[in-house]
Amino acid sequence: MNILIDGVDASGKSTVAHKLSDKLNMLEVRGSSFELADCTNEELYKHFTKVANLDNAIIQRGIYSNRTYATLYQDYAILSHEQRTTIEDKFKDNTVVIYLTAPEETIINRLEERGDDYVTTDKVSSILGLYKTVMTDAISNSVAVLTYDTSKLSSDEIVEDIIKVIQEPEEHLSDE
């Protein structure tokens, strides 16, 4: 089983990924980053295909980040709908997607506190809106998506809940 952690910058992805990796003894990898934005579409597709074929990994960012950020930043490489669907179909049976979010004001405050080389605070509203659409589409395609508001739950609470879900998926990930 894989765990794909996605969400806007300053939503707690790295913290949750590190804690899950330590507790579950799983490999932690970066699925997407701003550095990949400069590659070709084919290189991007190969990268995400390789990531989709991993097993027992915690993946920070994936095809959902690519769709969100490449839509907003027009000069970034983006997967086609067909490529995204192919990759999603490869991993949706063995991957739980964790979507971390928080209210716009919380994300802006966190970005201002830590600084960010890529995302400016004026983009946060657009990014959150795009993620909402992207995650709704993933759920519509039968991807298991768990959403956590990191302004309401601590990283430790989120990690404990994720562990519960992956240990008893039939109780938490039904198609109801």
pLDDT, tens digit (0-9, with 9 covering 90-100), for 96-143: 999 999 999 999 999 999 987 778 899 999 999 999 999 999 999 999
In this prediction, residues 144-166 reach a mean pLDDT of 97
- What's the pLDDT at 60? 94
- What's the pLDDT at 74? 82
Is the confidence at residue 174, as pLDDT, over 70?
no
Q: What is the mean pLDDT of the chain?
A: 91
- What's the pLDDT at 168? 81
Is the confidence at residue 71, as pLDDT, over 70?
yes
Question: Tokens 């993933």 — which residue?
Answer: 138
Is the confidence at residue 163, as pLDDT, over 80?
yes
- Fold assignment, 2-167: Rossmann fold (3.40.50)
Is the confidence at residue 175, as pLDDT, over 70?
no
pTM above 0.85, yes or no: yes
Is the confidence at residue 70, as pLDDT, over 60?
yes
- What's the pLDDT at 176? 44
